[in-house]
Amino acid sequence: MRLVIVGGVAAGTKAASRARRLNPEMEITVYQEEPEPSISECGLPYLLSGVVGTREELVARTPERFAKQDIEVLVRHRVEKLDAAGKRLSVRDLAAGEAFEDSYDRLVVAIGARAVLPPIPGADLDGVFKLRFLTDSDEVRRYTEEHSPKRAVVVGGGYIGLEVAENLCRIGMEVSLIEGADRVALAYGLEVSERVEAELAKHNVKAYTGEKVEEFVGEGRIRGVRFGGTELETDLVIVGVGIKPCVDLAEEAGAEIGPTGAIRVDEHMRTSLPDVWAAGDCVETTHLVSGGPVWVPLGDTANQMGRVAGTNAVTGHDGVEFPGVLGTGIFKVFDLGVGKTGLSEREAEDAGFEVVSAEIEVYDRAAYYPGAGKVFLKLIANGSTGRLLGAESAGTGADKLTDICATAIWGKLSYPDLINIDLAYSPPYGPALSPVIQAATILSGAFERARQGVRASE
Amino acid sequence: MRLVIVGGVAAGTKAASRARRLNPEMEITVYQEEPEPSISECGLPYLLSGVVGTREELVARTPERFAKQDIEVLVRHRVEKLDAAGKRLSVRDLAAGEAFEDSYDRLVVAIGARAVLPPIPGADLDGVFKLRFLTDSDEVRRYTEEHSPKRAVVVGGGYIGLEVAENLCRIGMEVSLIEGADRVALAYGLEVSERVEAELAKHNVKAYTGEKVEEFVGEGRIRGVRFGGTELETDLVIVGVGIKPCVDLAEEAGAEIGPTGAIRVDEHMRTSLPDVWAAGDCVETTHLVSGGPVWVPLGDTANQMGRVAGTNAVTGHDGVEFPGVLGTGIFKVFDLGVGKTGLSEREAEDAGFEVVSAEIEVYDRAAYYPGAGKVFLKLIANGSTGRLLGAESAGTGADKLTDICATAIWGKLSYPDLINIDLAYSPPYGPALSPVIQAATILSGAFERARQGVRASE
């Protein structure tokens, strides 16, 4: 019995390890196009600044480590074709330049997503980079060592762009950020975007919002970025405008692609092809609040999906499930933590919910305890049932508040639960009542007023 | 219509504020024995060391602040007798030394708990203190300013004793701690106690466990503590062996006292007396995991109970509920955060549950991210249903893990939920999979093995 996994990193290597743990006999091979099978992609921005000192720290496991588990990992190998009926693969050894055929009994597709480079003139200039894999950060490092850039432009105000901006600042660069939308951190509400923009300004990152890059200017090497009638001089550009799922291999083999553009899988991570599972950044899943399909490419989710795909692929039956996601995420920009879970107010309205929301800004611990910092929290609730639909937080301890709210949404809690919920209090760790409890109490007032409004108008 | 509240601090003042917000007309009077109506008792240990600089920082609100809300707060007033049938109170003005009568339409009893001073010879020596109210910390401060103690003995290895030990160390005292049980932090499992004891040792606090204090030795002023055949020289003793609920007033008036020794209330915070509600450290409530009565005197819970008592007392009907607690708590001792929620393994077994548990010790964030520290997490689950019954955590980020688990228990989540739950990941805030997810995965393995064991023996 032979299990083949296409793609490593989080989902693929997790599927492989899980399969090996459950079945010591099965042949397991992982094909990976990049030179490292298992890395922390989320750590890449921190490698730019030296917050993470060496690239080796981001390599979770080497092929040799996998070999000890009796998992064959072939890096620099691209799977070019999948014949699902014949259970065969066409593989190219990129180092040797040779192609060969392989076969499988069961297959897990975990080929991830790739960075989008928009069709901007000059995107191929030296000094214009994306940041998706270790090889990209190697290239940036080589370039910075050779040219010692003083000014940098980051294109894209999502979390990758913001993390990159922070880390380029840390090594003394003068950083500008260009975002096409009218604000950064567009996945969040306006209140959060304003806080992120203030944090950028505080650290002298100039943010240009509502601006589309028209051209990267330079001869051979980048010299400037042209947008909105001006040209901004720069020595380095990093583009972080998004990623898209790698679906070609599966789609050409006949696998169903979902409405988000990623591979469709059921809750057992099965694709529409027989004996083919998929996991990670290349698949879509269910948003547990909206109920609709969603594509949320994140390392932790990929890891969890990989576990389910590996378990079911090795046993061949639908033993475990991956129910879906809440769209939970967090990032740090300078001293500001920014997290969200569930639906934003606009997403909730778009999904057809009647929405009631409440927001607060309070200290993250007892105000008299050293280190106390402000944190913003917004709760979004279903106006008919009171159920929590989403939360956004920005500030000190935003990670904790986001995780409490994510768990609350997972547990289908409503605002009366959150008023009385028994969270841990001690002055070094929180205010007497958690910001979650305080915000839920305000939410309760909004519900009372809404009820009174209904009564008054009846 | 007149609402009287006996006792301030967390529950009483919250009830008063809530009542005023809901009803601008009602007369509201709060009687409080101590000189400050509203303080953060949890901050007292930090006042010893100057981590909290002034006593004023712990005073949440003054009587003048309450007066602006049209709430009459009379401090240094003790309510000595309650006539529930006649709705009358006997009150003593402690400053003036005079007694007077008052009446109410509705009453909230929120008189809290008092520190237990065990009947040890010499407990009345100068330099032997408890630490329950601001007045206690004033006395300790006066004593330390006068006598500049170099050595201190803390009696009691619960969270108060541990916090006090840390704060006395911070100001350069040589601190010993004496605990009657065979380990400190007895409310936690052995794994946590060991970590706390290691943290004490690391900071040169000598802990004597399994030792009962036989005598406080000295002439007028403390000179030593005698236990287990030795005498330990000391200049200061702080006793933190526990507190007990103040129930005399209510009990003598005929209110039902529960099996924990605290005042019994229903989920609307009503006592068995007509038009008398109670809240805070003087009442018992329901443990939402065991289902039994429990007395958990904590500031945040008191606050939540006060809100419910105040709401229902002002409206006179059972509008809102306080369902109960999970026994969630956290404390800090030096650099170690220690939290728990739900039942410990032993408490779960005592409550009749079949128990499966799992524990891990991992980094609190990506191992390569600066500041990463180890954190211990133990999950306790119902062996038949898989439901989470409790969690204990010690280390960096224990507060976050405790709150995630508290929310999970509140939401009745089981280990398969916790394997797939969508928590927030980014290298500065967590490992790729939250310790909660990692521990749940180990828990899942324990369940699999248990099932296989059952199958093998069938």
**What are the tens digits of pLDDT across the range A58-73?**
887 888 889 999 999 9
In 10 A of CB B62, how many CB atoms? 15
The three-state secondary structure class of B158 is coil
| pLDDT, mean of residues A256-273 | 98
Q: Which of B57, B65, B4, B13 is nearest to B34 (CA)?
A: B13
Write the single-letter amino acid at A174: E
Give the separation between CA B405 and CA B343, rounded to whole angstroms. 11
Identify the band that residue B228 occupies on the pLDDT scale cut at 50, 70 and 90. very high
Cα B196 to chain centroid distance, Å, stands at: 18
Give the separation between CA A300 and CA B438, rounded to whole angstroms. 11
Helix A11-22 to helix A299-315 angle, to the nearest 10 degrees?
30
Work out the minimum CA distance from A322 to partner chain B, whole angstroms.
6
Of A332, A416, A428, the CB nearest to B332: A428
Residues A112, A278: contact at Cβ < 8 Å? no
Mean pLDDT score across all residues of chain A: 94
In 10 A of CB A44, how many CB atoms? 24
Beta strands in B65-212 (DSSP E): 72-75, 77-83, 88-93, 98-103, 106-109, 113-115, 128-130, 151-155, 174-179, 206-209
Beta strands in A180-284 (DSSP E): 206-209, 213-219, 221-227, 230-233, 236-239, 243-245, 276-278
In 10 A of CB B299, how many CB atoms? 22
Query: Are the beta carbons of A406 and B421 separated by less than 8 Å?
Result: yes
Tens of pLDDT, residue by residue over B243-299, are 999 999 999 999 999 999 999 999 999 999 999 999 999 999 999 999 999 999 999
- List CB contacts of B109: < 8 A, sequence separation 6 or more: B6, B7, B82, B249, B250, B255, B263, B271, B276, B277, B278, B279, B282
Q: Which two tokens stand for residue B85?
A: 């049938």
- List CB contacts of B364: < 8 A, sequence separation 6 or more: B372, B373, B374, B375, B395, B396, B397, B430, B431, B435
Of A368, A429, A437, the CB nearest to B337: A429
Query: Are the beta carbons of A307 and B58 separated by less than 8 Å?
Result: no
Q: Tokens 């083999």 map to which residue?
A: A253
- Full-model pTM: 0.96
pLDDT of residue B458: 47
Active site residues of B: 42
Q: Which of A99, A102, A100, A161 is nearest to A338 (CA)?
A: A161
Torsion sign over Cα A374, A380, A383, A384: negative
Interface ipTM: 0.95
Identify the band that residue B35 occupies on the pLDDT scale cut at 50, 70 and 90. confident
A-to-B residue pairs, Cβ atoms closer than 8 angstroms: 212
Mutate to test the interface with B, among A393, A402, A417, A420 (most CBs of B within 10 A): A420
| pLDDT, mean of residues A261-274 | 98
Give the separation between CA A320 and CA A309, rounded to whole angstroms. 9
Please name the residue of chain A whose CA is at the shortest distance from the CA of residue B329. Answer: A424
The three-state secondary structure class of A142 is helix
Work out the minimum CA distance from B304 to partner chain A, whole angstroms.
6
Give the separation between CA B28 and CA B4, rounded to whole angstroms. 6
Helix B398-410 to helix B435-457 angle, to the nearest 10 degrees?
50
Chain A residues with CB-CB distance to B58 below 8 A: 368
Residues A185, A192: contact at Cβ < 8 Å? yes
Please give the biggest Cα pair distance in chain A: 78
Q: What is the DSSP letter of A325?
A: B
Give the separation between CA B29 and CA A358, rounded to whole angstroms. 31
Give the separation between CA A352 and CA B110, rounded to whole angstroms. 45
Query: Are the beta carbons of B413 and A407 separated by less than 8 Å?
Result: yes
Tens of pLDDT, residue by residue over A299-357, are 999 999 999 999 999 999 999 999 999 999 999 999 999 999 999 999 999 999 999 99
How big, in percent rounded to 5, are the helix, strand and coil portions of chain B?
A: 30, 30, 40
